[in-house]
Structure 1
Amino acid sequence: MSKVLVLNASYEPLNITTWRRAVVLLLKGKAEQVEHNGKYIYSGFPLPTVIRLRHYVRVPYKEIPLTRKNLLHRDGYSCQYCGYSGDSLTLDHVIPRSRGGGDSWENIVTACVRCNVKKGNRTPKEASMPLSIVPQKPYSGLYFEVTKHVKNGLNQEWRKYVIGM
C-alpha cells in the first residue's frame, strides 16, 4: 500500500517504514499519528503517512558514502552546467584533481559528456560555465529516500518534515 515516515519525538525524520509496522507502533502506544492521507484501514482508523515516536531515540550519525549513485541522486540526474538529463552523465571535479581538487561532496558534480569535455582541466569560472547549484554534502541518508518519495509525487505531506525541500 504505502510507506510511512517515522519521526523522532523531536519531529526529526528517523526512518521510513511500512504501513503495517506503523499501525503496530500506534496500537502499542509507542507512536502517535501526525498525518494521514484520507484512506482508512477500518472505520475510525485512518491509514497513517507520518507518525511520531512518543520517546526520543538516540541515533548515531552515519556517514553518507560518496558514490556515483548518491551523487547522481543529489544532483537530480542532470548536468549541473547545462541541465541535460539523460543516460550519458559523468562525474566532474569542480576543481580538477590535477590542480589539487579532491574527491568530496563539495568538489564533484554530475555533468554531461559534452560539458565535461568543454570544461576540461579548468575551473567553472575559467571555462565560463557556472554551476546551477553549489555542490554540498547531503543532510542524511534518509534525506535521499524521502526526496525520492516526494519527487515521485507520493507523500507530499513529508515535505514539511525534511530540511532543504
Structure 2
Amino acid sequence: MRQVLLLNATYEPLTTLSLRRAVVLVLREKADVVHRDGRGAVLHSATRAVDVPSVIRLRRYIKIPYRSRIPLTRAALMRRDDFRCAYCGHRAETIDHVVPRSRGGPHTWENCVASCRACNHRKADRLLEELGWTLRVAPVVPRGAHWRLIGALGGDGDPLWVPYLGQTAA
C-alpha cells in the first residue's frame, strides 16, 4: 500500500500513514497537502477529485511524548550501521549480538550490530576476543527525533520526502 509522510504543524516529520488515512485527514480538514504525488495521480469520487498526496502537514501542533530510548528495530539498526557489516565492511544482511545472547548478552543498541552472513556464521556464539576480531565502529544508541521514522520507512521512502526528513534521508 502507498505510504504518505505526515508532518507536524511545525514541519517536523512524525510518521508515515496509509494513503487512505492521509486522504481522510485532508478531506476532514485536519491536514493540508504539502507535496503532491510525483506521478500526478488523482483520486475521484462522485463529486470530487483529490490529488494524491505524498506529504501532508497537520493543521494543529501535536505534542510528542518524550522517549528516553529509540526502539531497536531491524530497519533502524541497519540504517544506523549504513547497511555495512561491523566486522568486515561488506554489505550487511543479518543482525549479530556482539556478546552472544547465549552468553548473557542483552538485546540492546550497544550490543547489536549489522553483519554479513559470512561473518555472522563464522562468529557464531563466540566473543570477539576469542576470534581476535574488532568492531569497525562501536555500536551506540542513535539520537534525534528523526529516528522515530526509521522503522516506519523501512528504507522504502518516497524520494519527494528527502527535504522533510533531514538526517534520515542520508
- Per the normalisation by structure 1, the TM-score is 0.68
- CA-CA distance at 1:130 after TM superposition: 3.4
In structure 1, how many angstroms separate the alpha carbons of the residues matched to 2:75 and 2:162? 22
Aligned to 1:105: 109
Q: Measured at CA, do residues 4 and 88 of structure 1 come closer, stay the same or move farther in structure 2, by a change above 3 Å?
A: closer
1:163 aligns with 2:166: yes
In structure 2, how many angstroms separate the alpha carbons of the residues matched to 1:114 and 1:47? 45
Of 113-122 and 39-48, the range deviating more from structure 2: 113-122
Q: Measured at CA, do residues 30 and 105 of structure 1 come closer, stay the same or move farther in structure 2, by a change above 3 Å?
A: same
- CA-CA distance at 1:156 after TM superposition: 0.9
Q: Secondary structure of the residue that 1:56 maps to in structure 2?
A: coil
Size of the aligned set, in residue pairs, is 152
Aligned to 1:5: 5
Structure with the larger helix share: 2
Q: Identity of aligned pairs, percent?
A: 34
Aligned to 1:146: 153
CA contact (8 A) 2:78 2:114 kept: yes
- Per the normalisation by structure 2, the TM-score is 0.66
Q: Secondary structure of the residue that 1:160 maps to in structure 2?
A: helix
Amino acid at match of 1:24: V
Q: Secondary structure of the residue that 1:163 maps to in structure 2?
A: helix
The gaps in structure 1 that reach 5 residues or longer are: none
Q: Secondary structure of the residue that 2:61 maps to in structure 1?
A: coil
Of 76-85 and 27-36, the range deviating more from structure 2: 76-85
The gaps in structure 2 that reach 5 residues or longer are: none
Aligned to 2:129: 121
